[in-house]
Structure 1
Amino acid sequence: MGIEHSKILARQEVAQGTMAFHLAKPAGFEFRPGQAFEILLPGASSEASQEERGHAFSIVSAPHENELMFATRMRDSVYKRALGALPVGAELDIDGPFGSLTLHKNTARAGVLIAGGIGITPFMSMLRNAATQRSPQDLLLLYSNRRPEDAAFISELQALAKVHPKFRLKATMTDMAHSSESWSGDAQKIDSAWVQQAIDGLAHPIFYVAGPPAMVAAMQQILVAAGIDEDDVRSEEFYGY
């Protein structure tokens, strides 16, 4: 669609060190759940690198929502420091949407979404959209974090699993020894046996993996070990988070 003008409407911490930004939605801005856009900062120096002026983020909001949202780990980089310093009301530019990590159209086949940390963002749009549309497609989210404090949108996901009967959440926390919160769910790293047990009974699922490059590579190996056909696995690596 090209570059659109927007502004920050609000911000909120959605996990420890992770901030969500709510943006004004430009008129006519359309996207598919799972797609991304680039956020271009205002007033960037002409000498700044592309990485300092813009960054790609998955769109967290669903297409029917009246605003746009993205979320990111607030790392100590030039871009993240500048983004974090922007006040509510600050103007910025949006370039997009783009990306092909979108759900398959055959709703008779289940979708298994596998997220590590901030990799949850494209799946939030998919799940919000599926719940609103009352999609008949079976969706399973396998969501791994170190601690509940690190798990962005975990409360919303738990609520979605209660209201949308075709969505099931299976979350695991791998470092509860360093958590100050309670957790009654799984506390192991994802392995092939855990995946096989989780997907039991799903109809011909297609798998979607999103997260840091090392996590995506490890998950691809785990899925192969679980007997998943590589043609049924789609992935997106998140750099710079």
Structure 2
Amino acid sequence: MSAYDTKIEGREMIVEGTMAFHFEKPPGFSFKPGQAMDVVLVDPPATDPQSARHAFSIVSAPFEEHLSITTRMRDSAFKRALKSLAIGSPIRIEGPFGSLTLHNNRARPAVFIAGGIGITPFMSILRQATQDGLAQRLVLIYSNRRPEDAAFLAELQALEQRNHHFRLVATMTQMEQSSRPWTGAVGKIDEALLKRVISELPTPICYLAGPPAMVEDMHRVLNLAGVDDDIRTEEFYGY
């Protein structure tokens, strides 16, 4: 796996508890939308080697000038160190790797099913597809607790307006705890929702990303909805 030295260009809180980090894209680094990379601290404060690196899906698209990751800011030595880095600090990236990438048969629609921060690999795919004007039907079913927790929700709504081949189906599971208005779907992704979406699509290929328990449950629900093959997933890089 190739290693590249680069530096941190910026960071921002995008929704409650979720941060984006932006890195300078090293010369020669290329990747496919949906792939991941290791972010390696150059001078880690902890002695545990495992706390010096972390794998993340690349949330930026290949056409963009920078590299970005987005992560829930759980309390870990790595994330504390990453958050504390000064802008311009050196950092190393290794990769890319992963195969959760869009299939080549443009006649077959893609259905992306994401829970929470599992949206990250699909953001790269959707950004690039919109930039390229890709004539392929793409549907994102995106579940969050509240709009306050839904990373990239406004951008996804804007992408849906720009890209007539893309449909967003967002649902919230804990709206009783939200202070924001929401006129979209509520409740968990269930068999009825999947059947309603998939029945409109000819032989779609489904992609899953999110917490392991959610991915396992979505496999089961997809099977109940009549999808028993062409379900693609891999270990999610984002926590």
Q: Normalising by the residue count of structure 1, what TM-score does the alignment of the two structures yield? A: 0.96
Q: Which residue does the alignment assign to 2:129? A: 130
Check 1:148–1:46 CA distance in 2 against 1; reply closer, same or farther (3 A cut). Answer: closer
Percent identity over the alignment is: 56
What are the residue-to-residue correspondences of 1:81-160 with 2, within 5 Å?
81-160=80-159
Q: Which residue does the alignment assign to 2:54? A: 55
Instruction: Look up the equivalent residue of 1:47 and give its one-letter code.
Output: T
What SS does the corresponding residue of 1:143 show, helix, strand or coil?
strand
Task: Tell whether the 8 Å contact from 2:118 to 2:238 is kept in structure 1 after alignment.
Answer: no
Provide structure 2 residue ranges, at least 5 long, that are not aligned to the other structure: none
Counterpart among 221, 224, 232 of residue 230 in structure 2? 232
Deviations 1:162-215 (A, max 9, x none): 000000000000000111111110011110111111223212100000001011
| Cα RMSD for the two superposed structures | 1.3
CA–CA distance in 1 between the matches of 2:41 and 2:146?
31
What SS does the corresponding residue of 2:186 show, helix, strand or coil?
coil
Deviation at 1:45, TM superposition (A): 5.7
Q: Which residue does the alignment assign to 2:15? A: 15
Task: Tell whether the 8 Å contact from 1:14 to 1:20 is kept in structure 2 after alignment.
Answer: yes
What SS does the corresponding residue of 2:112 show, helix, strand or coil?
strand
Q: Which residue does the alignment assign to 1:37? A: 37
Q: Which residue does the alignment assign to 1:172? A: 171
Deviations 1:123-173 (A, max 9, x none): 000000000110011000000000001000000000000000000000000
CA–CA distance in 2 between the matches of 1:55 and 1:214?
21
CA–CA distance in 2 between the matches of 1:95 and 1:49?
15
What SS does the corresponding residue of 1:125 show, helix, strand or coil?
helix
List, as ranges, runs of 4+ consecutive aligned residues in structure 1 with deviation greater than 4 Å. none
What SS does the corresponding residue of 1:71 show, helix, strand or coil?
strand
Instruction: Look up the equivalent residue of 1:195 and give its one-letter code.
Output: L
CA–CA distance in 1 between the matches of 2:60 and 2:124?
5
CA–CA distance in 2 between the matches of 1:174 and 1:129?
29
What SS does the corresponding residue of 2:206 show, helix, strand or coil?
strand
How many matched pairs? 239
Deviations 1:65-109 (A, max 9, x none): 111110000111111111111121111000000000001100100
Instruction: Look up the equivalent residue of 1:37 and give its one-letter code.
Output: M
Deviation at 1:240, TM superposition (A): 7.1
CA–CA distance in 1 between the matches of 2:44 and 2:82?
11
Q: Normalising by the residue count of structure 2, what TM-score does the alignment of the two structures yield? A: 0.97
Deviation at 1:15, TM superposition (A): 1.2
CA–CA distance in 2 between the matches of 1:114 and 1:151?
14
CA–CA distance in 2 between the matches of 1:157 and 1:150?
14
What SS does the corresponding residue of 1:236 show, helix, strand or coil?
coil
CA–CA distance in 1 between the matches of 2:11 and 2:97?
23
Check 1:125–1:239 CA distance in 2 against 1; reply closer, same or farther (3 A cut). Answer: closer
CA–CA distance in 2 between the matches of 1:74 and 1:187?
25
Provide structure 1 residue ranges, at least 5 long, that are not aligned to the other structure: none
